[in-house]
Amino acid sequence: MDSPISEWVVAESSVWLSRVRSTAEPAISTVSDVLCTRLVHDETPQRELLKRSVLRKERSRLLPERDVRAPVPSRRGELFYRWQRRMNCMPRFDARIPEEPLSVLVFGAHFDDCEVRFGGTATKYRELGHEVTLVCMTNGEAGHYKQGGATLAQRRRAEADAAASHIGAEYVAFDNPEGELRPSIDNRNEIIELIREIEPDLVFTHRPNDYHPDHRYTSQLVQDAAYMVTVPNICPQTPHLDYNPVMCYLPDSFEKPYPLDPDVVIDIDGEMETKLDMLHEYTSQMYEWLPYNIGMLDEVPETETERREWLPKRYEPRNRGYADRFREELKDEYGEEHGSQVTYAEAFEHCEYGGDLTEENREILFPFF
Ligand SMILES: [Zn+2]
């Protein structure tokens, strides 16, 4: 209270309140009501200034939110607006200011999900020396047509380790039955404990609307863990985090209830071959189960070399499609010339339940632009 105006507010409002109390005027119920009522009839210059300020605040409080919102000219403006809106209505979700090396944690439902949706970006993080941990929420025991159970689960785990070794990432796998993942409290608590142990700056997972129940429940579980990692009495044996990690959704092509609306689009042209090398390790998926499941098993070549040459036919179109679909975002990020020449992209959308993605931490969390 060091400005003359604020001193005046305190002095005047207390005098006025005592008068109000003594007369018990029923129409006046708050300090601001008192000030508005009094100041409307007061014309000295200092009081005129304060009157305008109080009336402006009162008016903005009464307006519906959509009318208060200023025009949003850019994606960064949109990020700022979201942060501002959240500050008014939700617990404050402070993401810490990250320090290098970053810690990045990616939750996929199945053993190839992280690589398919995040492989190029994971490679970029590792090239810059950041830590990447890939998580598979299920054990891989079901997705096949002539194998299953522990044999298939062990095979999938070995494929995952081989894929992660291309970029030096860690792989964590939970022993939940594939195809039967449950959005249970036990599974949520396991995720909370893992996030607390890893202390990630960034968490990625599926969007909540997806064709596969394991994808949907992975998303549900990770979203449910987001805020809870900061609550000391939840999983009290694991020290809680004093920040809420920034969380983003992995890309997909589903359109209902709305298509992916990315906050970050990344050029992975230089990492596409490494991403394909990682996918190539998943023999049981890329060359057996997935071709069988979509009726093109007879197109899969026999030899390793032929298969690696064939693999882009299946997986390039996805990332080429993201680059075309999010061309304007790529131009915003990289400039007109670079952005218009990107062939392959990965795109990620901020999840509101994790920490805030701000202009300040975005530059540190996505150090690729
Ligand atoms: Zn999957």
The confidence score (pLDDT) of residue 16 equals 46
Angle (CA) 39 44 50, round 5°: 50
Distance 111 CA to ligand 1 centre (A): 7
pLDDT of residue 79 exceeding 70 = no
Distance 114 CA to ligand 1 centre (A): 9
Distance 260 CA to ligand 1 centre (A): 17
Distance 288 CA to ligand 1 centre (A): 15
Instruction: Give CA–CA dist 78/75, Å, rounded.
Output: 5
pLDDT of residue 58 exceeding 60 = no
The confidence score (pLDDT) of residue 97 equals 76
DSSP 355: B
Distance 179 CA to ligand 1 centre (A): 10
Predicted confidence band of residue 81 (pLDDT cuts 50, 70, 90): low
CA atoms lying within 13 Å on the CB side of residue 148: 8
pLDDT of residue 126 exceeding 70 = yes
pLDDT of residue 368 exceeding 70 = yes
Classify each residue of 250-282 as buried b or exposed e, where b means 16 or more C-beta atoms within 10 Å of its C-beta.
bbbeeeeeeebebbbbbbbeebbebbbbbbbbb
Partnered with residue 345 across adjacent β-strands are: 267
The confidence score (pLDDT) of residue 226 equals 96
Distance 226 CA to ligand 1 centre (A): 21
The confidence score (pLDDT) of residue 40 equals 41
Predicted confidence band of residue 98 (pLDDT cuts 50, 70, 90): confident
The confidence score (pLDDT) of residue 74 equals 62
- Mean residue pLDDT of the chain comes to 84
Dump the DSSP string for 220-253.
Answer: HHHHHHHHHTT-TTSSTTSPPPSS--EEEEPP--
Distance 65 CA to ligand 1 centre (A): 39
Distance 113 CA to ligand 1 centre (A): 5
The confidence score (pLDDT) of residue 80 equals 64
Give the pLDDT mean for 226-249. 96
pTM listed for this prediction: 0.77
Distance 143 CA to ligand 1 centre (A): 10
Distance 293 CA to ligand 1 centre (A): 13
Q: pLDDT (tens digit, 9 = 90+) per residue, 9-34?
A: 445 545 444 444 444 444 444 444 43
Distance 251 CA to ligand 1 centre (A): 12
Count other C-beta atoms under 10 Å from residue 360's C-beta: 11
Instruction: Give CA–CA dist 330/345, Å, rounded.
Output: 9
Distance 135 CA to ligand 1 centre (A): 12
Distance 314 CA to ligand 1 centre (A): 16
Instruction: Give CA–CA dist 160/174, Å, rounded.
Output: 13
Count other C-beta atoms under 10 Å from residue 32's C-beta: 15
Distance 163 CA to ligand 1 centre (A): 16
Distance 108 CA to ligand 1 centre (A): 7
Domains and CATH numbers, the chain: 1-62 (no CATH), 103-365 (3.40.50.10320)
Look up residue 298 and give its amino acid. Answer: D
Sign of CA dihedral 154, 110, 317, 78: negative
Distance 28 CA to ligand 1 centre (A): 60
The confidence score (pLDDT) of residue 77 equals 64
Closest CA to 177 of 156, 193, 162: 156
Distance 339 CA to ligand 1 centre (A): 30
Instruction: Give CA–CA dist 190/26, Å, rounded.
Output: 55
Distance 359 CA to ligand 1 centre (A): 32
Are the CB atoms for 88 and 355 separated by under 8 Å? no
The confidence score (pLDDT) of residue 95 equals 63
Distance 249 CA to ligand 1 centre (A): 14
The confidence score (pLDDT) of residue 309 equals 98
pLDDT of residue 113 exceeding 90 = yes
